[in-house]
A and B are shown apart, each in its own frame.
Chain A
Amino acid sequence: MSASVLFDAPGPKGRRRILIANVVGALIIAWLIFLVVSGLAGKGQMSPDKWAPLFTSNAWTNFFLPGLTNTLKAAAVSIVLSVAFGLIFGLGRLSEHKAWNWTSAVVVEFFRAVPVLLMMVFFNIFFARSGLVPGSEAPFWAVVVALTLYNGSVVAELVRSGVHNLPKGQREAGIAIGLTHSQSLRLVEVPQALVSMLPALIGQCVVILKDSALGYIIGYTEFLFYSRTFGAANANTLQGLLLAAAVFILINYTLTKLAEWVSRRLGSRGPRRTTPGEPAAVGLPVGLPGLPDTDADAGPRR
């Protein structure tokens, strides 16, 4: 995309140079892949007994699928709770009530600044000691609560910037037909903001899914935990971790593509959306507070 902007159609000399560079690039990739594979083979890591166990029914029914189920369970609960949290505090930040507005601002800013892992470690020990949840479920709820507090705060900022990005006429029309500030928000602005922030919201699901792997550190029996256990049992940790990474990449890549598709679909609707097809809009990095530059006009950052 940038290519068409940055470069003129190359002439015969330019085309030849690009062709040479292209071949050199391809050779470099091939060489790198060869280095890695031969390096692994040299250490006996390419032998079938390291890889074959990954594709047996025992591996999947007893390790990978239970792990994946737990990962998806934690992620799904966190996504639902994050959206609820984000709506409550996003509306709070848009509220005209000074006290409510300030409380929401402090809550959102605090939870965006604290590392998710720090919260997970704390809630794990807190739940286990306080007996709020059954001891065996403490890691699950620690993962869910930590993910919800952080991602919910990000969603709250998405709601806020989504409402700010709406044309001013929407609010004016709401007021003109006699709605109060909060009615106009609830009935006119937020529903539209939710649609326009859908791609960013799907991007946030990628973040939640990735961060759920932090649960491994506090002993939640998720996908990475099982891959590691399986790897330890079969002396193929390297291969087990690669498989875990591949599964995460596959799921997240699909979600990212879905977000892009939704973004394109929405492109043919109304005049303004939160970040059209901007790569940075989808797949915000883990722990990335607020939206990237593209909606700087909405001032989502401090």
Chain B
Amino acid sequence: MDNYLSLFTEYNIAAAFWVNIQLTFWAALISLAIGTVLALMRISPVPSFEAIGAAYVTIFRNTPLTIIILFGVLALFNQLGFTLSPNFNENFFRMAVMGLAIYHAAFVCEAIRSGVNTVPVGQAEAARAIGLGFLPAARLIILPQAFRGAVVPLGNVLIALIKNTTVASVGSVAVEASSVMKTALEFRGDIIIPIFLTFALGFVLIVIPVGLLTTWLSRKMAVAR
């Protein structure tokens, strides 16, 4: 038991999870912004905008996240010398955030689009009838209801994002949970199963409340029809 408890003094597990939470927070904000714009483009009446949105979703939804994160470090940073911050570690953190955001924006877009599909035709017709154009109608009528209808799929994307922040390890963000677990496993061969269960439980404790919260929120926000 003491043997196991020494794990917590040797490795700062809470700090490792804190990195994953920070990655989640920034990537969620940025992907929500990109995803909303993409969703607007995909429902707009302009064919070229629609094509940009569709192409973005097809490309990034079908690319493994590992390639996207790796591309940031190996291609953009190593080969092209592109940086997002003069600070070495900060640069990799931001690149990982951008990689995660770009990848998940495709899923946010699809989640919002599925929310738009829950808005009855009558709402769009009513918006037109009182003289609203595309952007005012989207902003005042369609999107507010679409977001309320998209709580569950958006929550699912958020859960996926939380778990996918572990992939940042390949983007040289070396202090996040999966990298710390790897080091711990390598140096503490006597307790590898307890180490795995500890880290796994950490994710269960983060993910399950988020799942419960989205379910509760989706009931609370559901538009009565």
Residues of A participating in the B interface, judged by any CB pair closer than 8 Å:
2-3, 5-8, 10, 18, 21-26, 28-29, 40, 43, 45, 109-110, 113-119, 121-122, 125-126, 129, 206, 210-214, 216-217, 224, 228, 231, 237-238, 241-242, 244-245, 248-249, 252-253, 256, 278-280, 283, 285-290, 292-294, 296, 301-302
Contact = CB atoms under 8 A, between A and B. Distances in A.
A224 B64 CA distance: 10
B92 interface: no
Interface string B23-52: 000000000000000000011111111111
Contacts, number: 228
Nearest to B167: A117
A231 B195 CA distance: 35
A126 to B, nearest CB: 6
B63 A248 contact: yes
Contacts of B164: 115, 286-287
A302 B58 contact: no
Sorted from nearest, which 6 A-B pairs have the closest CB atoms? A25-B48, A213-B64, A238-B75, A252-B62, A115-B163, A122-B196
A294 B137 CA distance: 24
B27 to A, nearest CB: 13
B65 A210 contact: yes
Given A214-B167, A287-B160, 6 more contacts: A18-B46, A212-B64, A279-B110, A285-B61, A287-B163, A293-B115
Given A115-B166, A286-B65, A7 B45 contact: yes
Given A121-B178, A121-B182, A109 B62 contact: no
Given A224-B66, A245-B63, A287-B159, A293 B153 contact: yes
A151 to B, nearest CB: 13
A244 B62 CA distance: 12
Interface of B: 42-52, 58-59, 61-68, 70-71, 74-75, 78-80, 104, 107, 110-111, 113-118, 121, 124, 128, 134, 137, 142, 149-150, 152-153, 156-157, 159-160, 163-164, 166-167, 169-170, 177-178, 181-182, 185-186, 189, 192-193, 195-196, 199-200, 203-204, 207-208, 211-212, 214-215, 218
Nearest to A296: B152
A210, A293, A296 pick with most chain B CB within 10 angstroms: A293
A109 B74 contact: no
A241 B163 CA distance: 23
A237 B75 contact: yes
6 contacts: A21-B44, A113-B208, A115-B164, A115-B178, A118-B203, A125-B192
A237 B79 contact: yes
Interface residue SS majority, chain B:
helix
Nearest to A130: B192
A141 to B, nearest CB: 16
A253 B62 contact: yes
Residue of A115, A213, A280 ringed by the most chain B CB atoms within 10 A: A115
B124 A6 contact: yes
B45 A244 contact: no
B152 A293 contact: yes
A249 B203 CA distance: 29
A5 B124 contact: yes
Contacts of B116: 2
B80 A45 contact: yes
Nearest to A50: B79
B48 A118 contact: no
A254 to B, nearest CB: 10
Nearest to A118: B178
A274 B177 CA distance: 36
Nearest to B197: A122
Given A2-B43, A241-B71, A217 B114 contact: no
A57 B107 CA distance: 37
Contacts of A129: 189, 192
A271 to B, nearest CB: 20
Contact of B166 (A118, A210, A213, A216): A118
B200 A110 contact: yes
Contacts of A2: 42-43, 113, 116-117
A114 B185 CA distance: 17
Contacts of B142: 6
A289 B211 contact: yes
Contacts of B181: 118, 121-122
Contacts of A279: 110, 113-114
